[in-house]
Amino acid sequence: MKGFRKWVLLCSLLIVTCSLAFAQTAQRIAWLLEQEHVSYAHSALLVFEAADLIDPAAGLSPEQAFAFALENELLPRGAQANQAVTMRGLSFMIMRAFDLKGGFFYTMTKSQHHAYRELLHRGIIQGRADPFMLVPGDKLLFVVSRTLFLENR
């Protein structure tokens, strides 16, 4: 029952977020929910809008968000715009975008691996996941929503 309450709360948060955003954003969320794997560019756009690093009203494309991320060193080394994002790559983007303070190992290395471990430890990443798993759209939305929920309490 406790897991159901969390799911309802997160869905409610997502619905409220969608209702306050433009219809274009709702369409993008619906599109993301259908995706089996999400690219670094699309992930960057969602993560950086959620972290208030880019303004959703600016209407940036995923490629422009990716370019912004490259300029500001918010992506893992070697990430390509159309490459499917992994859980560890997403974790790295979230840690950097939300300026989350990590534990000793993340602080010392700033690595994708330790970013992933940090989000696991915080309970942001839940359920079936491994660091090299390609991120589906629903998992991306869940992890970003969970980050917003836990970091804004």
pLDDT tens sequence across 92-149: 999 999 999 999 999 999 999 999 999 999 999 998 889 999 999 999 999 999 999 9
Residue 118's pLDDT is 96
Q: Is the pTM of this model over 0.85?
A: no
CA distance 130 to 73: 24
CA distance 60 to 75: 17
Q: How confident is the model at residue 26 (pLDDT cuts 50, 70, 90)?
A: confident
CA distance 133 to 115: 14
Whether the Cβ atoms of residue 105 and residue 121 lie closer than 8 Å to each other? no
Percent of the chain with pLDDT over 70: 84
